[in-house]
Amino acid sequence: MKKILLLFVCFFPIGVNALDMPEINSEAAIVYDVNEDTVILEKNSDEVRSIASLTKIMTVLTAIENIDDFSASVTITNEMLAGIYWNASVAGLKVGDTVTYMDLLYAAILPSGADATQVLAYAVSGSVDAFVAKMNELALRIGVTNTHYVNTTGLDQDGAYSTAHDQLLILSYALKNPIFRTVYTTKSYTLSNGLQVEATISKYNEILNLDTSKIIGSKTGNTTNAGLCMSALFYHEDHEMLLITLGAQVIEDVPYNLIDTLTLIDNVNESYVIPKEKTVTTASIVSSDVVVSSNINYNTIIFLIILFLLVTVFLFRRVRRRKRK
């Protein structure tokens, strides 16, 4: 019986082509094959951490789900921009500017504009606190269990936390929304007031001038508590892949979040073999008018064979015990 159980473990696959994690600076990371619904790389992905401006993914997603007319205008007031930290990344919005809701989505994601996220909160919910409550409600609906938001920006504040795994779930959910996907995968955009914004990946890459063409969409983050963080969408062959890195150290302004992201993408492209579906034709009925074939998954056949062997051994031993009696 033990030998048969061992065969079951060896021949009935449980996971798919998981890779070894390469050496990276980030404290936590996760890479996910969307098509296979499989995590292929992970490091401390359930460790609770600060996530910096990856928070803005949820901010923009919450706004999208609560906006009826994306072309409607919003005039920016003093209240909307009050209290933004001096060191926060901003898009450059000013009091008196009139922009559309769609403009604000791009201004929040591409340059990681804290000003845009706060304007969205006031325009959608009337206050930051009311909007943040909606963010946490949406997080629960998505199904994450180790995430809590306290602001729209991701700036360091007590009570804000998440995990790489939770952020992966949120990004996966968000990318199913066509408006979010379009914003997330845009590299530059001109707002209706003439203000031009571009993705922060360009800023992070100014020092090293790395090839970032494989990154289809991204959101970066950087605070004292969170370190350098990044989310990314890329492709391996025809498979869509999602990636989250958290907690890279800040050393001499080197963008280790971007370096780690490119390291993980290269590792996947070099080592990840996309599993191929194996089928075995078990029956074929051919007549003059119709051909009927039945294809059963290879793993299913192995499972049925082993199940049959287990049942056979059980019945055989039961019969032997009765004879001894």
Q: What is the pLDDT of residues 284-294, one digit of tens each?
A: 323 333 333 33
Q: How many CB atoms lie within 10 A of CB 67?
A: 17
**Residue partners of 201: CB distance under 8 A and separation at least 6:** 187, 212, 215, 218, 220, 258
**pLDDT of amino acid 303:** 65
Report the pLDDT value the prediction gives residue 199, as an integer from 0 to 100: 96
Whether residue 319 sits in one domain with residue 203: no
Q: Any catalytic annotation for residue 127? A: no
Are residue 135 and residue 98 in the same domain, yes or no? yes
Domain membership of residue 304 (yes or no) is yes
Domain assignment present for 227: yes
Same domain, 219 and 95: yes
The per-residue pLDDT for range 230-286, each reduced to its tens digit, is 999 999 999 999 999 999 998 888 999 999 999 999 999 999 999 886 444 333 323
Q: Is residue 20 part of a domain?
A: no
- Are residues 59 and 141 located together in one domain of the fold? yes
Of these residues, 43, 45, 50, 56, which one is catalytic?
56
Same structural domain, 290 and 188? no
Same structural domain, 53 and 104: yes
pLDDT of residue 302: 63
Tally of domains within the chain: 2
Q: Are residues 263 and 288 in the same domain?
A: no
**Same domain as 209, residue 131:** yes
Q: Based on the residue annotation, tell me whether 162 is a catalytic residue of this protein.
A: no
The active-site residue out of 26, 53, 125, 162 is: 53
Same domain? For 115 and 250 the reply is yes
**Residue 102 phi, psi dihedral angles, 5° rounding:** -65, -40
pLDDT in tens, the chain (325 residues): 444 433 333 333 334 457 899 999 999 999 999 999 999 999 999 999 999 999 999 999 999 999 999 999 999 999 999 999 888 999 999 999 999 999 999 999 999 999 999 999 999 999 999 999 999 999 999 999 999 999 999 999 999 999 999 999 999 999 999 999 999 999 999 999 999 999 999 888 887 889 999 999 999 999 999 999 999 999 999 999 999 999 999 888 899 999 999 999 999 999 999 988 644 433 332 333 333 333 344 456 666 777 777 777 777 676 666 665 5
Q: Is residue 18 part of a domain?
A: no
pLDDT value, residue 246: 98
Q: Which of 26, 45, 112, 162 is catalytic?
A: 112
Q: How far is CA 100 from CA 9, 74, 89, 193, 230, in A?
A: 57, 6, 20, 9, 27
Question: Does 161 lie in the same domain as 126?
Answer: yes
**What dihedral do alpha carbons 314, 319, 320, 325 form, nearest 10°?**
130
Annotation marks residue 325 as catalytic? no
Residues spanned by the domain of 313: 2-12+280-324
Rounded alpha-carbon distances, angstroms, from residue 241 to 54, 183, 196, 214: 17, 18, 29, 11
Q: Residues 259, 300: one domain?
A: no
| CATH code, domain carrying 84 | 3.40.710.10
pLDDT for 284 equals 33
- Whether 253 maps to a domain, the answer reads yes
With respect to residue 246, please indicate whether it lies within any of the assigned structural domains: yes
35 and 7 together in one domain: no
Residue 17 lies in a domain: no
Query: In the prediction, which pLDDT does 279 show?
Result: 42
Structural domain contains residue 23: no
